[in-house]
Amino acid sequence: MQRTLAQESLQHIGKEISLSGWASSTRDHGGLIFIDLRDHTGIVQLTINPENTKAFSVAEKIRDEFVITATGKVIERDGSLANKNIPTGTIEIKVDSLEILNPSKALPFPVMHQEDTINEEIRLKYRFLDLRRDKMQLMLRKKDEFFTAIRAYMHDRDFVEITTPILTSSSPEGARDFLVPSRLHPGKFYALPQAPQQFKQLLMVGGVPRYFQIAPCFRDEDPRADRHPGEFYQLDLEMAFADKGEQVWEMMEPMVIQLTEEFAGKKVLTKPIPRIPYAEAMEKYGSDKPDLRFEMQMVDLTEDLKDTGFTVFSKAIASGGAVKAIMCSGGSKLTRSQIDELTEMAKKDGAGGLAYIVKENGEYKSPVVKFLSETELAAIVEKTGAQDGDIIFFGADERNLVNKVLGKLRNKLGDIFGLKDPNIIAWAWITDFPMYEYSETEKKIDFSHNPFSMPRGGLESLEKEDPLDIKADQYDLIANGYELLSGAIRNYNPEVMYKAFQVAGIDRETVDERFGAMIRAFEYGAPPHGGCAFGLDRWFMLLMDEPNIREVIAFPKNGSAEDVMMAAPSEIDAKQLKELHIKTDLPKKDGKI
């Protein structure tokens, strides 16, 4: 008899069917045994009568998570016995035959658990059990729908899906490479790709008009809640003859909106998606990925307070810094302990403290009020728009530090006051990133984003402008405080590329050595091109209202970048190391080498 799925049993009342699945629970009521059989579609109740001695004998042996198959007649339950908590609660299967396909050992935890009741390490060790939960089954299926919708959108717009190599050469993508030793070429290493960057650009040179792939990427980064360590997947794409970022944005924006509204059932806050220059985002929100579901913008008070008698402010301004403020509506409700916690957070980010003013009943309450003139207070209130019941926080220091501190404060206040509506997604393009930044660790000019981006103004800007003033045609797509896409119009001119790397202290010979294939390709008629890459796991996490990225990945690493189920990473035996011409140099147990 053909297998019937649990949810389909409703369509077969009065008929004989066969079901297979897991025993989700068993209940022995003396005269009858009830078993909840679970498959990927749901649960249906089996009823085994003691008069059926063979089936009853089998039922007595069944425990949770045994794999079983049952054949029987679908009958309607008496109305008073219906279970309104499950879709099949109005029927049951009167079992004729029952078979144990495979027993289960005693479980390390109940399969149908709430994730916060079980230690995550245990769940990940037994991930094959954890995946049986309804939530995880839903995640796997929804992610499949998500990928299917993306592929359909891309194919409808003539993008060609092409896979690129996994074993490749090391490339500076901003993180550490995972290296793979070569047995055939002793002393040499492959690198797992941080992104298919060079390959997709070479496809453009190769005459492919539009490329995409759902690409595995590998970066040896520290884990965090919204970033899976080691490996992740991205929607990688590139378009030939795209010479302006707008062409990429206009291509991708409908897909972003469609998936937000139709797949996730959420509201897009602003359509069309707004475009915010990087410098403006940092000045207003203190972040290049601000959560725009709420306003609370920073206000610059440097000019208004340039003659202030409050030394904390005046010293910051005199040293070339800035004084900025952020107003939180209803902030007078903050407790003393909450303000202390916010102050400690600001100090950890490098601030000396966190000055504030509460406006209440027409009066100003704060230790700093006595240092400010009436004119200065009036300017602060006018610029921030503070009303009774509001609180104003101040930052006074080097401008970048002030932006950072108040930006994190803004985000925290959004959490405290419940300003982040989960049913809204506030998308924005962040544009005009600086081409270069000064690296404090290496004490030199370095690329701030993707090194293969086209500088605005081309070769002329590289030769004549201060490197820190040069903008690149680079862009991010952000939503609700997450960066979900990064992209650029590419540098496809060899001489411009040599010069761009020279500005960052990388000579021509090194460029030829590390990017020789791309340089050679660009000498043979490379078209203008540009593209981007979406972080798919993070994007899906946002659409599914899931704060932990491990909950949207079938087999994730833990917080220490370990696969505790497969015991990876693991030690390699001496024979394998010898074949690879590798010797390890590990600390001894006493800490000495």
- Do residues 234 and 484 make contact, with C-beta atoms less than 8 angstroms apart? no
Starting at the edge strand that comes first in sequence, how are the strands of the sheet with 427-431 ordered?
160-161, 210-219, 230-240, 529-535, 482-489, 474-479, 427-431, 275-277
Closest CA to 538 of 314, 225, 253: 225
Q: Output the 3-class SS for 248-275.
A: HHHHHHHHHHHHHHHHCCCEECCCCCCE
> Which pLDDT tens digits describe the chain residue by residue (593 residues)?
789 999 999 999 999 999 999 999 999 987 899 999 999 999 999 999 999 999 999 999 999 999 999 999 999 998 888 998 899 999 999 999 999 999 999 999 999 988 889 999 999 999 999 999 999 999 999 999 999 999 999 999 999 999 999 999 886 556 789 999 999 999 999 999 999 999 999 999 999 999 999 999 999 987 776 788 889 999 999 999 999 999 999 999 999 999 999 999 999 999 999 999 999 999 999 999 999 999 999 999 999 999 999 999 999 999 999 999 999 999 999 999 999 999 999 999 999 999 999 998 888 989 899 999 999 999 999 999 999 999 999 999 999 999 999 999 999 999 999 999 999 999 999 999 999 999 888 889 999 888 889 999 999 999 999 999 999 999 999 999 999 999 999 999 999 999 999 999 999 999 998 888 889 999 999 999 999 999 999 999 999 999 999 999 999 999 899 999 999 999 989 999 999 999 888 887 655 44
Q: Output the 3-class SS for 335-379.
A: CHHHHHHHHHHHHHCCCCCCCEEEEECCEEECCCHHHCCHHHHHH
How far apart are the C-alpha atoms of 535 and 98, rounded to whole Å? 47
Query: What is the reported pLDDT for 587?
Result: 81
- Contact partners, residue 18, CB within 8 Å, separation at least 6: 1, 2, 3, 4, 69, 70, 71
Count helices and strands in the chain by DSSP H and E runs: 16, 24
Closest CA to 480 of 545, 533, 568, 398: 545
Return the amino acid letter for 322: A
- Do residues 561 and 236 make contact, with C-beta atoms less than 8 angstroms apart? no
Query: What is the reported pLDDT for 302?
Result: 97
Query: What is the reported pLDDT for 590?
Result: 59
Closest CA to 157 of 253, 64, 90: 253
How far apart are the C-alpha atoms of 360 and 386, rounded to whole Å? 10
**Domains, in order of start, for the chain:** 6-102 (2.40.50.140), 137-273+429-552 (3.30.930.10), 295-415 (3.30.1360.30)
Length of the chain: 593
Structure tokens belonging to residue 177: 């490479």
Of all helices (H) and strands (E), which one includes residue 312?
helix 311-318
Query: What is the reported pLDDT for 440?
Result: 84
Structure tokens belonging to residue 528: 């203008």
